[in-house]
């Protein structure tokens, strides 16, 4: 009997979390081996290791507690990776040397698998004087471009691209350029961007007052606050960015307000952190804690939840000691404050199981009650750890109890903290759980509503045949098992049928008891008016949220999976989403057709020859392998490596056109070259251009920047203007990428831009 509730769950485990040897053979034979590996690793720091290993295993078993992907994939492997998900880097100095020192630190952090956040408000604006060199400053946006290019070249541990968050204060002189920077689809694509909104600015917006843009005490411009707010809103309306972070509220509600100031967050926004701040994540799977689901006596087992929370807090506290850190400053920061981010997933499924409609007043009240229980259990568990192992080093009882979220905590909890201290300065956070929610059986992610009751994914087999799998929401599957084919009740709702105000209501209800922040996407209909859209953000401000992220499908950001609004119908499927996932590479025929391209790089004595061979699958031609040759022996190692890596990607199938995009984005710090009237930033970019030429010629791509033209495994056009689709997933090829908790996420394979 498998522990996995769906085939996709097992595939996610195999691709992302299963420990394998260098040759690909699995070290974790079963998911039980994965749980055992994690439990044993996190129990090493305990005095009674055997006892706590069993306790930790019990929490992991059957996906009740879900450590974030970094922990699940990295704990107990012996590999040089960080188990922390979130980092905010050091304050960027306003000097060239300091800026590039920070760039180096960012590269080292992403190399070990950390997502990072930066506040670029500390860099002087474009056009400001640079003393001593008789020049004008290029401004923070120019350096963000450098960060972006660096990030493209760093492959994070665990085969994930690095993700970055850039923030800028609403009073920085370059804020208007920052707001519109991502309207250029080719710029800053490795960043999420958010504006740091102050209380004073919101008051000026409401009063229709003026607003000074200033740096280092000098006022550069004065604008109308409402005009600037409208520019933020218009960019978000059109391009889904920037996000909005209510930074004064974050600092006011910070338990550590007495010893740190926050100016940035991690890439998904759920972890506001100080300079060099780090946080690890994990989620309680609420869908696994409901007794008598869909029956009259359905209830979330609060006793079981409190015990699970206590165990999870101890496990996550141990991660602080078990993890490596890319930088010594990050290790010191983590050790001094021992921050953890325990959250939830499967909230929407749990609400359905007890008969509540997500977004209703009753559901918001229940969410408030459940998350208060989790907060209490977390804090009391951390007090018990403090009794046994000591409080976090920067703990100051009076200052701590009079800071942030502690002011609203129950008196009995406050009394315990005052007497015994607390092990972890902050304990709760609600993270994006897109991949781990699939791994746990496709439970609803984080505190999001169910996105789709079901959808179809097509799997290409090695022999060329295709099988079709239905991926069903966990609660819907449980309903089917208990109730058969009876219609879903009226309280079953999904992300597309909810009013934006219902999303805000749920976010605000959850935020009350979360001492960090929440990663939440408020889905807005495509036809929402601009005024109504702006009102969503005002509602978030008025209801006490720490930030706001929306997603409105449009021509720029793409559409989402189509979802049925008929709750009486069978769970819907996205009929057009053909997912191509190959468990094994395609076999190579004896002969292949191909083309060879000659690349002559200026100032290079020898040309590079690129050969691309194609295979016929389903009657269509697709790339299968490449060979890169040059007589220049300085090129030998990287051309061989590139040959092998690109060929391996091509043989896995799906939409592999992202290889072109990645190569064309590589820049050479020594400078590129002008070829045929076009600037090429590097030899690798030239190879990417040649690959693009080939893929266009065989009909695999439409043309420069247009992506996949035809699905080579199916006799059909994949672009259907009559049926909205999401963007193609660069990992598996499904046309269903959607915004989930601040990240473009694939519902089929779990790939996401930021994890």
**CA-to-CA separations, 208 to 223, 224, 227, 325, in angstroms, rounded:** 11, 7, 9, 46
Omega of the bond prior to 242 within 30 degrees of 0, cis? yes
Count CB-CB contacts under 10 A for residue 630.
Answer: 20
Choose, from 53, 241, 260, 270, the residue flagged as catalytic.
270
What integer pLDDT is reported at residue 563 of this predicted model? 39
Count CB-CB contacts under 10 A for residue 409.
Answer: 19
With b meaning 16 or more CB within 10 Å and e meaning fewer, what string describes 202-212? bebbeeeeebe
Cα torsion angle, 715, 717, 723, 728, sign:
positive
Supply the pTM of this predicted model: 0.77
What integer pLDDT is reported at residue 714 of this predicted model? 32
What integer pLDDT is reported at residue 740 of this predicted model? 62
Contact yes or no for 738/598 (Cβ under 8 A): no
Who contacts 372 (Cβ-Cβ below 8 Å, separation ≥6)?
512, 513
Contact yes or no for 567/487 (Cβ under 8 A): yes
Q: 86 an active-site residue? A: no
Q: What is the dihedral of CA 679, 684, 690, 691, to 10 degrees?
A: -130
H or E stretch at 474: helix 474-483
Q: 266 an active-site residue? A: yes
Our separate counts of H helices and E strands in the chain read 23, 31
Per residue in 386-403, pLDDT tens? 999 999 999 999 999 999
Distance CA 576, CA 571 (A): 15
Contact yes or no for 174/157 (Cβ under 8 A): no
Distance CA 486, CA 248 (A): 50
Distance CA 660, CA 71 (A): 32
Q: Which tokens hold the place of 9?
A: 């769950």
Q: Can you say whether residue 80 is alpha, beta or left, with left for phi > 0 and alpha for psi between -120 and 50 degrees?
A: beta
Residue 11: closest CA among 647, 731, 718, 623: 731
The segments of the chain whose pLDDT lies below 50 read 155-160, 559-584, 704-725
Who contacts 293 (Cβ-Cβ below 8 Å, separation ≥6)?
353, 354, 475, 478, 482
Q: Is 197 exposed, middle or buried (0-12, 13-18, 19+ CB in 10 A)?
A: buried
What integer pLDDT is reported at residue 309 of this predicted model? 98
**CA-to-CA separations, 515 to 46, 133, 431, 504, in angstroms, rounded:** 27, 46, 13, 18
Distance CA 384, CA 285 (A): 23
Residue 79: closest CA among 42, 113, 115, 35: 113
Contact yes or no for 70/53 (Cβ under 8 A): no
Distance CA 107, CA 113 (A): 10
What integer pLDDT is reported at residue 554 of this predicted model? 65
Contact yes or no for 484/19 (Cβ under 8 A): no
Residue the block writes with tokens 């799997």: 459
Choose, from 254, 266, 405, 442, the residue flagged as catalytic.
266
Residue 725: closest CA among 558, 506, 541: 558
Who contacts 352 (Cβ-Cβ below 8 Å, separation ≥6)?
358, 450, 475, 479, 491, 492
Q: Is 422 exposed, middle or buried (0-12, 13-18, 19+ CB in 10 A)?
A: buried
Where are the chain's structural domains?
593-712
Count CB-CB contacts under 10 A for residue 500.
Answer: 22
Contact yes or no for 225/232 (Cβ under 8 A): no
Distance CA 672, CA 592 (A): 33
Q: 241 an active-site residue? A: no
The set of long-range contacts for 598-602, using a CB threshold of 8 Å and a minimum separation of 24, is 599/683, 599/686, 599/687, 599/690, 601/673, 601/683, 601/686, 602/673, 602/675
DSSP sequence for 299-356: EE-HHHHHHHHHHHHHHHHHHHHH---SSHHHHHHHHHH--EEEEEE-HHHHHHHTT-
In Å, the largest CA–CA distance within the chain is: 79
């Amino acid at each position: 009997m498998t522990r996995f509730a769906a085939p996709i769950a097992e595939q996610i485990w195999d691709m992302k979390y299963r420990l394998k040897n260098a040759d690909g053979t699995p070290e974790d034979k079963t998911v039980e081996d994965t749980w055992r590996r994690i439990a044993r690793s996190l129990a090493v720091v305990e005095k009674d290791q055997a006892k706590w290993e069993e306790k930790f295993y019990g929490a992991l078993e059957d996906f009740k507690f879900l450590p974030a992907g970094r922990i699940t994939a990295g704990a107990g492997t012996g590999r040089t990776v960080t188990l922390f998900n979130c980092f905010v880097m050091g304050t960027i100095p306003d000097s060239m040397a300091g800026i590039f020192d920070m760039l180096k630190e960012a590269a080292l952090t992403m190399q070990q698998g950390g997502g990072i956040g930066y506040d670029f408000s500390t860099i002087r604006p474009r056009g400001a004087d640079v003393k001593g060199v008789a020049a004008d400053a290029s401004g923070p946006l120019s350096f963000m471009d450098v960060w972006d290019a660096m990030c493209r070249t760093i492959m994070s541990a665990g085969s994930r691209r690095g993700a970055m968050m850039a923030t800028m204060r609403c009073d920085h002189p370059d804020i208007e350029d920052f707001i519109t920077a991502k309207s250029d689809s080719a710029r800053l694509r490795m960043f999420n961007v958010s504006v740091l909104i102050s209380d004073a600015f919101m008051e000026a917006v409401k009063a229709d007052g003026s607003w000074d843009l200033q740096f280092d005490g000098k006022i550069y411009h004065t604008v109308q606050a409402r005009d600037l707010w409208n520019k933020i809103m218009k960019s978000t309306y059109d391009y889904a960015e920037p996000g909005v972070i209510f930074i004064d509220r974050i600092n006011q509600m910070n338990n550590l307000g007495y010893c740190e100031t926050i100016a940035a967050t991690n890439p998904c926004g759920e972890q506001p952190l100080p300079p060099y701040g780090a946080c690890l994540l994990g989620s309680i799977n609420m869908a696994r804690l409901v007794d008598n689901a869909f029956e009259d006596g359905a209830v979330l087992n609060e006793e079981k939840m409190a015990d699970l929370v206590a165990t999870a807090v101890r496990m996550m506290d141990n991660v602080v000691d078990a993890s490596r850190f890319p930088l010594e400053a990050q290790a010191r920061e983590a050790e001094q404050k021992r921050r953890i981010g325990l959250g939830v997933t499967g909230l929407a499924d749990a609400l359905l199981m007890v008969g509540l409609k997500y977004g209703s007043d009753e559901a918001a009240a229940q969410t408030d009650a459940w998350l208060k229980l989790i907060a209490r259990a977390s804090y009391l568990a951390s007090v018990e750890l403090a009794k046994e192992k000591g409080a976090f080093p920067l703990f100051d009882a009076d200052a701590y109890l009079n800071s942030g979220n502690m002011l609203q905590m129950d008196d009995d909890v406050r009394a315990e903290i005052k007497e015994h201290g607390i092990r972890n300065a902050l304990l709760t956070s609600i993270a994006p759980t897109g991949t781990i929610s699939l791994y746990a059986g496709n439970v609803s992610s984080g505190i999001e509503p169910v996105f789709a009751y079901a959808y179809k994914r097509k799997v290409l087999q090695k022999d060329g045949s295709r099988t079709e799998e239905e991926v069903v929401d966990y609660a819907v599957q449980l309903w089917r098992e208990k109730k058969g084919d009876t219609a879903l009740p009226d309280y079953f709702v999904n992300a597309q049928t909810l009013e934006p105000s219902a999303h805000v209501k749920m976010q605000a209800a959850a935020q009350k008891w979360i001492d960090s922040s929440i990663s939440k996407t408020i889905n807005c209909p495509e036809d929402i008016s601009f005024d109504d859209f702006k009102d969503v953000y005002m509602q978030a401000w008025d209801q006490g949220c720490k930030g706001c992220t929306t997603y409105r499908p449009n021509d720029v950001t793409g559409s989402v999976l189509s979802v049925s609004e008929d709750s009486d119908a069978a769970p819907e499927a996205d009929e057009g989403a053909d997912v191509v996932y190959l468990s094994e590479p395609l076999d190579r025929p004896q002969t292949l057709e191909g083309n060879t391209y000659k690349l002559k790089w200026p100032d290079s004595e020898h040309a590079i020859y690129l050969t691309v061979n194609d295979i016929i699958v389903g009657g269509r031609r697709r790339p299968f392998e490449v060979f890169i040759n040059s007589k220049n022996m300085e090129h030998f190692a990287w051309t061989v490596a590139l040959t092998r890596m690109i060929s391996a990607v091509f043989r896995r199938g799906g939409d592999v056109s992202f290889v072109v995009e990645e190569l064309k984005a590589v820049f050479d710090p020594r400078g590129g070259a002008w070829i045929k009237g076009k600037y090429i930033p590097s030899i690798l970019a030239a190879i990417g251009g040649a690959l693009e030429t080939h893929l266009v010629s065989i009909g695999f791509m439409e043309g420069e920047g247009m992506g996949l033209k035809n699905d080579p495994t199916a006799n059909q056009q994949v672009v259907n203007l009559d049926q909205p689709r999401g963007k193609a997933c660069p990992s598996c090829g499904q046309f269903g990428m959607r915004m989930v908790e601040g990240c473009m996420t694939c519902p089929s394979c779990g790939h996401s831009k930021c994890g």
